């Protein structure tokens, strides 16, 4: 999902009272309500998948998340390969650290930062019966656990130093699930928002929606935030006031006011990606779209277009699927 091209970009490090003011949207004009905006968004999404739904096999439900939409927009075949690989791929230290940090963030937001953030996050996971996270933590070798602990501890320290105490009127809601059904239930859009502040109201946009990031800023982060904005608008039938990302490593906040035009552009992007997902679920052959992330694609060893693209960029190339096991030079023209 490329994200609306017209969206503003930006962000900067903010902390304490200044961060609280930004989360409140102090000094930022609130967009006037646009009657029927939620209906228009739904029409765009339903129209995008419309006729293709008839080709879905009986009983098949297409589930879309921000991750699958991003991946299918980049390369359909790459998304299919990643889904298959993920089923057997062990969790990395960075992935586990990201999941632990979701819980550390929750503790800080409710005013209970922990001296031992990893231990506190694992306790929360245990209390919530999050067996996936507990199993992922257990699967890490000692070096990976040390790396995950280092990442979590560093970011927890930065977070505790930067994040303001929230007044109770802020009504913080953490890890709130969002779910939108389209096409009579044949397509489900799901997400989980890290933090929602404020109360939705038809007469005055009132909600700030924050997606926390443990990694470095990416262009895609904007599209992620707008994905949540579209889901939130469909859920409450009124748009949030502002959406964006908070970067745990640096204390950067990148917030944008939710204008109707941006929401509509985001819905158009989502609709295009949904159509791809529905076609694939209906049995269409996945298309190959070489891109800068081919180097991280599990299909790369057997993907000629991806290899050619990566070779042109000078990226690392793994052995081809049909390379000899004995490692003898077979004249592979990529020379790597
Ligand atoms: S290597 Fe690139 S082109 Fe090939 S499937 Fe993966 S992402 Fe697509």
pTM for the model stands at 0.86
Decide which of 134, 162, 190 is a domain's last residue: 162
Report pLDDT for 271.
Answer: 96
Centre of ligand 1 to C-alpha 313, Å, is: 14
Report pLDDT for 72.
Answer: 96
- The residues lining ligand 1, judged by C-beta closer than 6 Å to any ligand atom, are 75, 77-78, 81, 288-291, 294, 297, 299-300, 303, 305-306
What is the distance, to the nearest Å, from the Cα of residue 159 to the centroid of all Cα atoms in its chain?
Answer: 20
Distance CA 264, CA 38 (A): 10
Q: Judge if 121 and 261 occupy the same domain.
A: no
Report pLDDT for 332.
Answer: 39
Number of domains, the chain: 2
Contacts by residues 55-60 (CB-CB < 8 Å, ≥ 24 positions apart): 55/278, 55/279, 55/282, 55/283, 56/186, 56/278, 56/281, 56/282, 57/281, 57/282, 57/283, 60/186, 60/281, 60/282
Centre of ligand 1 to C-alpha 147, Å, is: 30
3-state DSSP call for residue 297?
Answer: coil
Report pLDDT for 205.
Answer: 84
Q: Judge if 83 and 195 occupy the same domain.
A: yes
- Testing ligand 1's pocket by substitution, the residue of 72, 79, 280, 299 carrying the most ligand atoms inside 8 A of its CB is 299
Centre of ligand 1 to C-alpha 176, Å, is: 33
Exposure b/e, 199-212, CB count within 10 A at least 16 = b: ebeeeebbbbbbbb
H/E run at residue 187: strand 187-197
Write the residue with the smallest CA distance to atom 8 of ligand 1. 78
Q: Judge if 197 and 267 occupy the same domain.
A: yes
3-state DSSP call for residue 53?
Answer: helix
Q: Judge if 54 and 156 occupy the same domain.
A: no
Q: Is residue 124 part of a domain?
A: yes
CA R_g for the chain: 22
Q: Judge if 63 and 119 occupy the same domain.
A: no
Residue 173's closest CA among 134, 135, 199? 199
Centre of ligand 1 to C-alpha 319, Å, is: 15
Decide which of 103, 131, 162 is a domain's last residue: 162
Q: Is residue 333 part of a domain?
A: no
Centre of ligand 1 to C-alpha 131, Å, is: 32
Q: Is residue 322 part of a domain?
A: no
Q: Judge if 177 and 276 occupy the same domain.
A: yes
3-state DSSP call for residue 173?
Answer: strand
Q: Judge if 124 and 51 occupy the same domain.
A: no
Ligand 1 atom nearest to 294, measured from its CA: 2
Report pLDDT for 309.
Answer: 94
Domain housing 83: 12-87+173-280
Q: Judge if 55 and 189 occupy the same domain.
A: yes
Q: In sequence order, which residues have a C-beta less than 8 Å from that of residue 91 and are 6 or more positions away? A: 136, 139, 140
Q: Is residue 315 part of a domain?
A: no
Q: Is residue 111 part of a domain?
A: yes
Question: Which parts of the chain have pLDDT scores under 70?
Answer: 1-10, 321-336
Ligand 1 atom nearest to 305, measured from its CA: 3
Q: Judge if 177 and 265 occupy the same domain.
A: yes
Q: Specify the pairing of strand 252-257 against strand 12-13.
A: antiparallel
Distance CA 169, CA 125 (A): 27
Q: Is residue 291 part of a domain?
A: no
Report pLDDT for 10.
Answer: 61
Q: Judge if 193 and 66 occupy the same domain.
A: yes
Are the C-beta atoms of residues 106 and 124 closer than 8 Å to each other? yes
Decide which of 265, 280, 295 is a domain's last residue: 280
Centre of ligand 1 to C-alpha 48, Å, is: 25
Write the residue with the smallest CA distance to atom 5 of ligand 1. 78
- Testing ligand 1's pocket by substitution, the residue of 79, 86, 291 carrying the most ligand atoms inside 8 A of its CB is 291
Q: Judge if 120 and 30 occupy the same domain.
A: no
Q: Judge if 183 and 215 occupy the same domain.
A: yes
């Amino acid at each position: 999902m490329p994200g609306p091209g017209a969206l503003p970009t930006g962000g900067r490090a903010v902390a304490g009272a200044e961060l609280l003011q930004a989360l409140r949207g102090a000094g930022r004009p609130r967009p006037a309500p646009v009657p029927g905006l939620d209906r228009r968004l739904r029409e765009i999404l339903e129209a995008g998948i419309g006729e293709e739904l008839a080709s879905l096999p009986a009983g098949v439900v297409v589930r879309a998340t921000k991750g699958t939409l991003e991946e299918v927009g980049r390369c359909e075949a790459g998304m299919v390969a990643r889904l298959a690989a993920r089923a057997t791929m062990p969790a990395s230290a960075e992935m586990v650290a990201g999941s632990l940090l979701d819980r550390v963030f929750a503790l800080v937001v409710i005013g209970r930062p922990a001296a031992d953030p990893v231990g506190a996050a694992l306790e929360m996971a245990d209390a919530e019966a999050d067996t996936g996270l507990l199993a992922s933590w257990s699967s890490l070798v000692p070096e990976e656990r040390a790396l995950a602990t280092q990442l979590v501890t560093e970011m927890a320290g930065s977070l505790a130093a930067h994040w303001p105490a929230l007044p109770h009127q802020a009504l913080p809601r953490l890890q709130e699930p969002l779910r939108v059904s389209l096409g009579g239930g044949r397509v489900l859009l799901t997400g989980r928002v890290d933090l929602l502040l404020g109360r939705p109201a038809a007469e005055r946009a009132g909600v700030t929606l924050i997606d926390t990031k443990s990694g470095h800023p990416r262009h895609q982060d904007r599209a992620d935030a707008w994905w949540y904005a579209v889901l939130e608008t469909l859920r409450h039938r009124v748009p949030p006031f502002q959406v964006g990302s908070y970067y745990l490593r640096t204390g950067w906040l990148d917030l944008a006011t939710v204008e109707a035009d941006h929401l509509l552009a985001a819905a158009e992007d989502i609709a295009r990606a949904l159509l791809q997902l529905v076609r694939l679920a209906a049995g269409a052959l996945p298309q190959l779209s070489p891109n800068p992330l081919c180097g991280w694609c599990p299909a790369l060893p057997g993907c000629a277009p991806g290899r050619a693209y990566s070779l042109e960029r000078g990226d690392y190339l793994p052995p081809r699927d049909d390379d000899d096991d004995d490692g003898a030079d077979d004249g592979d023209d990529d020379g790597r």
